[in-house]
Chain A
């Protein structure tokens, strides 16, 4: 049996404007300086656009702080995540930089928890490659810091910052979904008939969402790979992060014979847009057994049908009256 565990990375690329306070702060980090902001008699670092007690807007008045400071709280990260600044154990600490009144949360590369204590002095170290981000800098124990770094400042102020977030997801296909995927490898489309309403759902979510009834393997039914187009759209690709498409293409919903829910997101590349229409009768042309791939199916409702079904060809039968398909658009 093939491995049907799902592994994917959900990515969102964020681009943010930096504003009048964090802009200079991040520019400073790129250029090897740490800036705090005056707030009454205090200096805040990291700097804020507002007074944290009164929430009044601050007129930015920057003060260079650090590069040394005192640890006011810490923990030893024995098992770093893939998102941490180091792939080896390190300390996360609150550090009150010299000249600042509030501590900043940051990473201390100390080698061992025995080298870290509250009250110890640390000093900033800068990465070789700096982009104007909080990750441009980290801290080391002052006692073991090397010689002072020479930092070449950049030219333009940092007005934008990017942060690509990526969430690693791994889970097994859910039971009904797994039987459906295995069916596809076998050239069968498996749905489920609701014991409550008799409606046939394909692919099934494992339950009847209208009657709130769970379904089991005993409710599985095979559906013919034959049906009628119930809806479609022509997608003209626009550029965005992760977009692979360049040419217009059709995405269709198909109501399979005997089913009460359409399959959707079906990729149509070989029928001309002019000849494609709601009501058109189509049948699946399966990919050869060894070429079927269900890894595009996850626990969502859609999936990459084109990886198991090469194309949907018109059967030549008379069209189904589109009015009969109105309830099966999506």
Chain B
């Protein structure tokens, strides 16, 4: 059932940029952001002062640098001052805030950034800190282990199999061979993947994403300003995000009701879906997300390779939006769905519907 309401103001992605996913980027995080911002300004002809609102998503815990989000502004340029905001979340949530901000109608152009350097730290030890601080975090209960529990639940519910997970990995990393920004791109047969040992059973190491550094950014513009700045605006037709309990024991881990609710709010089923880029951080999640989004087997999912090919945490979700927007801009797709996720076992989910010229 669609609960979608048309936004007051048409807002479009008018330009996108992303760095490759690096296993280790030998430089500061602001440099990765700077490369994206400089790309976007060159592509649109806009100047720094034309970016009326800037917002970034990043996480200081990742690189262990308190106030890293402040130095990240170096990559944008702190002068002249503009409306500036930050979310300690994936850049897809920064996109959500920017989209809402443009609905107010007083400004027309916004810059959205997502960036992260996971390489200096140990993500499996960082991310338990976002779980319940009394009954989960002290156990070091990490997203990889919770993903293993979810994957086994899927198998035992008859909704998945180790072979189905390996098929996601094989296809994603093969598709990534055509993605110049991919970190892990390889042609591996399903049988050879299934011969590998378990890491967090029933998941194998290849069912997990790589550890990545990277950044992504895009420019949003509203209405006529968007049409003036590009001949190929990609319109945001709907966007919604929902969250579930942080106690995994209170959820049915074999489904994603928050993704389904966000999809209804964003209007996924109101038209055809030519392409979908989903935050499939662990291979089995693709099965859950396809079902929650109502995507048939005919829908191309993660033609970029998805997060299994590169996972710059805090940019991963925004990269999904960019991959869909790029395909629409290039004319290869008319309407697409981007999905971002936050928290262990798909706790919080964002869905964005994008469409080319209407």
> A243 at interface (Cβ–Cβ under 8 A)?
no
Chain A window 201-241, contacts with chain B (Cβ cutoff 8 Å), 1 for yes, 0 for no: 00001110110101000000000000000000000000000
Q: Are A300 and B134 in contact (CB under 8 A)?
A: no
Q: Are A168 and B121 in contact (CB under 8 A)?
A: yes
A16-B133, A84-B140 as given contacts; A76 in contact with B74, CB under 8 Å:
no
Q: Are B146 and A300 in contact (CB under 8 A)?
A: no
A78-B199, A102-B250 as given contacts; A175 in contact with B63, CB under 8 Å:
no
List, in ascending order, chain A residues with CB within 8 A of B121's CB.
Answer: 167-169
Give the CA-CA distance A6 to B124 in the complex, in Å: 20
> A266 at interface (Cβ–Cβ under 8 A)?
no
Give the CA-CA distance A93 to B248 in the complex, in Å: 11
Q: Which of B2-33 contact A (CB under 8 A)?
A: 24, 26-28, 30-31
Within 8 Å by CB of B125, from A76, A82, A118, lies A82
Q: Which of A107, A169, A206 has the most CB of B within 10 A?
A: A169
> B126 at interface (Cβ–Cβ under 8 A)?
yes
Give the CA-CA distance A24 to B72 in the complex, in Å: 43
List, in ascending order, chain B residues with CB within 8 A of A75's CB.
Answer: 145-149, 151-152, 200-203
Among listed B75-83, B91-99, B299-307, B310-318, interface-contacting one:
B75-83
Q: Which of B30, B63, B138 has the most CB of A within 10 A?
A: B138
A106-B139, A133-B138, A205-B74 as given contacts; A73 in contact with B26, CB under 8 Å:
no
Chain A window 73-105, contacts with chain B (Cβ cutoff 8 Å), 1 for yes, 0 for no: 111111101111100000011101000001111
A22-B134, A168-B122 as given contacts; A134 in contact with B26, CB under 8 Å:
no
* A214 smallest CB distance to B (angstroms): 6
Q: Are A92 and B145 in contact (CB under 8 A)?
A: yes
Closest to B344 in A: A105
A76-B198, A106-B139, A207-B30 as given contacts; A212 in contact with B126, CB under 8 Å:
no
Chain B window 35-48, contacts with chain A (Cβ cutoff 8 Å), 1 for yes, 0 for no: 00110000000001
Closest to A47 in B: B135
Give the CA-CA distance A48 to B134 in the complex, in Å: 11
A73-B149, A76-B198, A105-B141 as given contacts; A172 in contact with B135, CB under 8 Å:
no
> A41 at interface (Cβ–Cβ under 8 A)?
no
> A150 at interface (Cβ–Cβ under 8 A)?
no
* B65 smallest CB distance to A (angstroms): 7
Q: Which of A161-213 contact B (CB under 8 A)?
A: 161, 163, 165, 167-172, 174-175, 205-207, 209-210, 212
Q: Are B138 and A212 in contact (CB under 8 A)?
A: no
Q: Are A46 and B247 in contact (CB under 8 A)?
A: yes
Q: Are A83 and B140 in contact (CB under 8 A)?
A: yes
List, in ascending order, chain A residues with CB within 8 A of B247's CB.
Answer: 46, 48, 52, 102, 105
Q: Are B156 and A118 in contact (CB under 8 A)?
A: yes
> A307 at interface (Cβ–Cβ under 8 A)?
no
List, in ascending order, chain A residues with CB within 8 A of B137's CB.
Answer: 163, 165
> A26 at interface (Cβ–Cβ under 8 A)?
yes
> B120 at interface (Cβ–Cβ under 8 A)?
yes
Q: Are B139 and A165 in contact (CB under 8 A)?
A: no
Q: Are B27 and A209 in contact (CB under 8 A)?
A: no
List, in ascending order, chain A residues with CB within 8 A of B158's CB.
Answer: none
Q: Are A209 and B248 in contact (CB under 8 A)?
A: no
Within 8 Å by CB of A167, from B122, B153, B156, lies B122
Q: Which of B111-134 contact A (CB under 8 A)?
A: 119-122, 124-126, 128-129, 132-134
List, in ascending order, chain B residues with CB within 8 A of A8's CB.
Answer: 64
Give the CA-CA distance A84 to B146 in the complex, in Å: 13
Q: Are A172 and B26 in contact (CB under 8 A)?
A: yes
A46-B135, A102-B249 as given contacts; A92 in contact with B148, CB under 8 Å:
yes
Q: Are A94 and B64 in contact (CB under 8 A)?
A: no
List, in ascending order, chain A residues with CB within 8 A of B152's CB.
Answer: 73-75, 118
Chain B window 186-214, contacts with chain A (Cβ cutoff 8 Å), 1 for yes, 0 for no: 00000000000111111100000000000
Give the CA-CA distance A210 to B133 in the complex, in Å: 40
Q: Are B248 and A105 in contact (CB under 8 A)?
A: yes
> B61 at interface (Cβ–Cβ under 8 A)?
yes
List, in ascending order, chain B residues with CB within 8 A of A300's CB.
Answer: 65
> A299 at interface (Cβ–Cβ under 8 A)?
yes
Interface residue ranges, A against B (CB under 8 Å): 6, 8, 10, 14, 16, 18, 22, 25-26, 46, 48, 52, 73-79, 81-85, 92-94, 96, 102-107, 113, 118, 133-135, 161, 163, 165, 167-172, 174-175, 205-207, 209-210, 212, 214, 299-301
Interface residue ranges, B against A (CB under 8 Å): 24, 26-28, 30-31, 34, 37-38, 48, 61, 63-66, 71, 74-79, 119-122, 124-126, 128-129, 132-142, 145-153, 156, 197-203, 245, 247-250, 253
- 26 contacting pairs across A/B (C-beta < 8 A): A6-B120, A16-B133, A22-B135, A46-B134, A73-B149, A74-B149, A75-B146, A75-B200, A76-B148, A76-B201, A83-B125, A94-B149, A94-B249, A105-B136, A105-B149, A118-B156, A135-B139, A165-B129, A168-B125, A169-B63, A169-B120, A175-B26, A207-B30, A209-B74, A300-B65, A301-B71
| 9 nearest A-B residue pairs (beta carbon) | A75-B148, A83-B140, A169-B64, A171-B120, A209-B74, A103-B249, A76-B201, A92-B145, A84-B140
Q: A167-B125, A212-B48 are in contact. List 15 more A-B contacts (CB 8 A).
A: A18-B134, A75-B146, A78-B201, A82-B140, A83-B142, A105-B135, A105-B249, A161-B134, A167-B122, A170-B120, A205-B30, A205-B71, A207-B31, A207-B74, A209-B30
